[in-house]
A and B are shown apart, each in its own frame.
Chain A
Amino acid sequence: MSRSLRWVVLGVGVAGIGVVLLLAFLGMPDFGSTHHPYRDLAVPAAVRHGTANVVSSVNFDQRAIDTLGEETILFGSVLAVAALLRPADDEEQQQDPGSRVPLQATRLFGYVLMPLTLVVGIDIVVHGHVTPGGGFQGGVVLATGLHLLYVAGRYRSMERLRPMPLVEVSEAAGTAAFAALGFAGIGVTGSFLANVLPPGSFGQLFSAGAVPLFNVAVGLAVASGCVVMLAKFFEQVFLVRNEGDGR
């Protein structure tokens, strides 16, 4: 394709997207207006099922099938990262990641904040149906909190804290638990991913039916998935060397 023809294709594409976006923006409700058809349907539905956090109700009760799709995307990404970042034929895996002592202040920061971050992560997962948060947010907090131990200069301790076979199994178990809850919906009500547990009393820890269980399943899958992905990156940086690589 010649250079000028490429510019023509680009111009047509940009103009097309521009027109479509402009039409979409013109058709949207005004910023900050009170007209919210979706809210008017979603909020009463969430309240009926005893879910204080409407976002969690939409994610795991009203539109749980969408979340199952996202869960599958994450699972696929983790698999792809694990497959792409495995040591190649001409690379060898070292056992010693090398030692590197960070600043005292950084080490203190890591040691003090790691347990705090893990507690906050668990809190965000467990209370996802009552307060803002949920399995996804809490899961990522848990996964990144663990890596504060690396910031504190203890890569080996961090490795001991996350035995990879266990983490890989818990990632699969979290995803499977999500699907299993979906099939429980078929078994009890006849609909996939239907809420099968009693809604309980609004705003309590044990409320919102199966939403807290979904949050825990997603939290497990997301935390483990992020840990697996980051572990593959860390292995590539610290442990895998090309043969003849001088470093």
Chain B
Amino acid sequence: MTVLIAIALTLVLAGGVAVVFSRDPQRQAVTLSVYGMLMTLLFFLLAAPDVALSQVVVGTVLVPLMVMLAIRKIRGHR
């Protein structure tokens, strides 16, 4: 279990770094979504399924979708 948590923590760290270093906001929305999935895995391993459920729907779907739509709108005006 400890090994799994350590792996999940490392993945979350890598995911966070990937989000920060994605320069194009449109790609960043996708890396943010993947990062949300990794956080879900971590919460699940830490025996917090309620938080994992919130994370998977908000962090993986809702927020990246809003970011994507906002970026599309802004690009459309340029």
Task: List residues of B (57-78) whose CB comes within 8 Å of A's CBs.
Answer: 57-58, 61-62, 65-66, 69-70, 72-73, 76-77
Q: Are A226 and B62 in contact (CB under 8 A)?
A: yes
Across the interface, do A53 and B53 meet the contact criterion of CB distance under 8 Å? no
B25 within 8 A of A: no
Residues in chain A near residue B61, CB distance under 8 A: 140, 144
Decide yes or no: A230 and B49 within 8 Å by CB, A237-B73, A245-B77, A247-B76 being known contacts: no
Given A242-B77, A245-B77, A247-B76, check contact A233 B69 (CB 8 Å).
yes
Question: Could you tell me if B62 and A144 are in contact, using CB atoms closer than 8 angstroms?
Answer: yes
Chain A binding surface, main DSSP class: helix
What total of chain B residues lie within 8 Å of the partner, measured CB to CB?
A: 17
A-B contact count (CB 8 A): 51
Residue among B57, B70, B72, B73 making CB contact with A137, cutoff 8 Å: B57
**Quick check: B65 and A230 within 8 Å, CB to CB?**
yes
Across-interface contacts of A126 in B (CB, < 8 A)? none
Query: Do A140 and B58 contact each other (CB < 8 Å), given the known contacts A53-B50, A237-B76, A245-B77?
Result: yes
- Give the complex CA separation of A183 and B18 in angstroms: 48
B54 interfacial contact with A, CB 8 Å: yes
- Contact of A134 with B66 in the complex, beta carbons under 8 Å: no
Known contacts A140-B57, A245-B76; A233/B66 CB under 8 A = yes
In this complex, how many residues of chain A approach chain B with their Cβ under 8 Å: the count is: 24
In the docked arrangement, what's the CA distance between A137 and B61, Å?
Answer: 12
Q: Any chain B CB within 8 A of the CB of A147?
A: yes
Q: Which residues of B contact A233 (CB under 8 A)?
A: 65-66, 69-70, 73
Distance between Cα atoms of A53 and B53 in the complex (Å): 14
Cβ of A60 within 8 Å of any chain B Cβ, yes or no, is no
State the CA gap A137–B53 with chains docked (Å).
Answer: 6
Partner of B54, one of A53, A136, A242: A136
Residue A124 is within 8 A (CB to CB) of chain B in the complex: yes
Q: Which residues of B contact A (CB under 8 A)?
A: 49-50, 52-54, 57-58, 61-62, 65-66, 69-70, 72-73, 76-77
